[in-house]
Amino acid sequence: MLADPQGRSILWRELRASHDTVRRLFSLDHKVIGLQYAITSACFLLIGFGLMMLMRWQLAYPMQPIPFIGRWFGPTTAPGGVMLPEFYNQLGAMHGTIMIFLGVVPLSVGGFGNYLVPLQIGAGDMAFPRLNMLSYWIYLVAGLVMLSSFAVPGGAPNSGWTSYPPLADIASMGQTFWLAGMILLITSSLLGSINIIVTILQLRAPGLTFMRLPFFVWTQLVTAFLLLLAFPPLESASLMQLMDRIGGTSFFLPSGLFVGNRPLAATGGGNPLLWQHLFWFLAHPEVYVLILPAMGIVAEILANSIRKPLWGYRLMVYSAIFIGFMSFLVWSHHMFLTGMGTGMSAFFQTTTMIISIPSVVILTALLLSLYGGSIRFTTASLFALAFLPMFGIGGLTGLPLGLAASDIHLHDTYYVIGHFHYIVAPGTIFALFAGVYYWFPKLTGRFLDERLGTIHFWGSLVCMNLIFMPMFIEGLAGMNRRMYDGGLFYPHNQGLQKWNVLQGWSAWTLGLVQIVFLLNLVVSVRRGRMASDNPWDATTLEWATATPPPHGNFAVAPIVYRGAYEYSVPGAARDFIPQNEPGNGGLPAGRGAQPQIS
């Protein structure tokens, strides 16, 4: 027999039952899968950061041998420890790819989303547990395919994380690995996003209406829709680039192309701009995939630390939905310099200005929430608070890039790098750090050490700003990105070298500071201060179950009676009322919340 009465594979179940390791490794529990995602993506983040620390050496001290580890590199990458330009390009392309596609998105959606969404909506698991497991394993394979490209002839992909043709079409074999990895990765995120949407819509606990959902769940829902609808065009684009490279087609190769002073043997007739359109159709929603879950995490932690309801919760929800919708209409603001015409530019510059409004609304709502609160300064709340100005800097410096006229000067300079790193690094990654400090007690039953956490926070904050703030200066002065020698070749960049040195030392110090964080994780898992089921006096459902949550999450299915942020309700017995607490929370009769069970 192949199947049990429900039509599920028996062979599979027997394999799982026979072996403990197999069962743990191929777990169907969303919490285990979430942790697998989190640990894997954290490793990728470290790898991506490591590549950047290497690049920073080359930028700070061009053509000087890399100290200590330089002799480990071969003649094809860094002979005698001196980095070759080709290798620098590989590092650059892979840093972007790893950080975005294998690090931040899987951590915020696969890790945090998978672990927290079912808990916060009071569900026993994700809607499709086996699909969930499958999406993790496809993601892992995709990551390994990407990494293995370092070992093939010609090395890793070296056409930038955007893989623009015609260059990417004729690049070395690593690019084929990039495309294969990308197709797998998109398949994985597709399965994951279907799962998250169905889980949120279908498995909400009784009484948990949409306007009672924690803001984090809302951001995950919008993010999942972006992953679902924006990623497939890049999948088809990757398929076409793969055809160009393997099948000899010319989807992205125009006629009459010369490479190395010789005409390229290709049929031609293709269009390189087609790739840019399809790529940015994915990659601009991708920006919001990076930032929305971070906003969700920050909102959860801030509401808890200020002991007040979020200011303008509904406004924030509508803004998140509006961001999701508008993010499909702004992609060509990455392409102002391609000569697509002023009409197109005018349209996309308008939509870009419009999409900045809801982001500012969310940021303002979070900022106004702070007013009059008695803030608990934990490491989690420090990171969450720092997110606000850091994301603010990142967002506001984006406005000149969204205007076609000023973009002509700033395009492809370090200004752009500074802008999006402020959003993703001290923005999203700070939010993810905050989330780790906040939910670690739920996962393990122990707190992370606050003293090490404070060192981690201040160290990261100072280093990140020393790295990224000078990029605005460099960019405005005209220093281009992807310059292997830090731009020294050009006279107008000569005076900027001192900033590269500062950025280099800040990046390596940032690496040291992260060791404190890793140490904190390892030590606190075993020796940290014990945490109760609800150590932060929080209201949302993940704190209403045991610590760590058992298989199936809740001993009794929870019923929700109120909104997600009932902190400091006047007249209530305590300064928080959990969502699943029936009755009126100590309020005079008639003022309490009623369950809405449809």
Partner 1 sequence: MSAIPYTFERRPDTGVNNVKLGVWLFLASEVMFFGGLFSAYFMLRAGATSWPHGPDVLSLPLGSINTVVLLTASAVFTVAVRAAQAGRQERIRRLLAFSMLLCLAFLGIKSLEYAREIAAGLVPRTSTFFALYYTLTAVHALHVIAGIILSLWLWTTSPPAWRAAPARVVNRLEAAAMYWYFVDAIWLIIVLLMYVA
Name the site residues for partner 1 (rule: CB under 8 A): 1-7, 123-125, 127-129, 190, 193-195, 197-198, 201-203, 228-237, 239-240, 243, 247-251, 266-267, 269-271, 274, 277-278, 281, 551-557, 598
319 by Cβ neighbours in 10 Å (0-12 / 13-18 / 19+) ranks as: buried
Supply the angle between the helices 497-527 and 30-60 in degrees, to the nearest 10. 150
- Shortest distance, CB of residue 476 to partner 1, whole angstroms? 35
Query: Measured from the CB of residue 544, what is the shortest distance to partner 1 in angstroms?
Result: 13
* Residue in the block written with tokens 């404190």: 516
- Which of residues 244 and 407 has its CB atom nearest to partner 1 in the complex? 244
Task: Tell me the backbone φ, ψ of residue 414, rounded to 5 degrees.
Answer: -65, -15
Q: Name the token pair of 464.
A: 């990140």
Query: Token digits for 436?
Result: 């780790």
251 vs 415 by CB, closer to partner 1 = 251
CA 397 to CA 412: how far, in whole Å?
14
Residue 102: helix, strand or coil by DSSP?
Answer: helix
Q: How far is the CB of 120 from partner 1 (least distance, A)?
A: 15
CA distance 342 to 237: 26
Residue nearer to partner 1 on the CB measure, 271 or 568: 271
Distance CA 481, CA 473 (A): 13
Q: Taking the complex as a whole, how short is the minimal distance between the CB of residue 114 and partner 1, in angstroms?
A: 15
Q: Quick one: 85 or 269, whose CB is closer to partner 1?
A: 269
Burial class (CB in 10 A: 0-12, 13-18, 19+), 346: exposed
Nearer to partner 1, 253 or 290 (CB): 253
The whole-angstrom separation of Cα 426 and Cα 386 is 8
Cβ at position 254, least distance to partner 1 in Å: 9
Give the residue with the Cβ less far from partner 1, 69 or 201. 201
* 190, 227 contact by CB (below 8 A): yes
- Which is nearer to partner 1, 5 or 590 (by Cβ)? 5
Amino acid at 421: H
Question: In the bound complex, what is the minimum distance in angstroms from residue 228's beta carbon to partner 1?
Answer: 5
What number of CA atoms fall less than 13 Å from residue 582's CA on the CB side? Answer: 5
- 588 preceded by cis ω (within 30°)? no
The CB-of-123 to partner 1 minimum distance in angstroms stands at 8
Q: Which is nearer to partner 1, 208 or 306 (CB)?
A: 208
**Least distance between partner 1 and beta carbon 567 (Å):** 28
With vertex at residue 227, the alpha carbon angle to CA 548 and CA 143, rounded to the nearest 5 degrees, is 70
Taking the complex as a whole, the smallest distance from the CB of residue 235 to partner 1 amounts, in Å, to: 6
Query: Is the CB of residue 119 less than 8 Å from the CB of residue 185?
Result: no
Considering the complex, state which of residue 279 and residue 387 has its C-beta at the smaller distance from partner 1.
Answer: 279
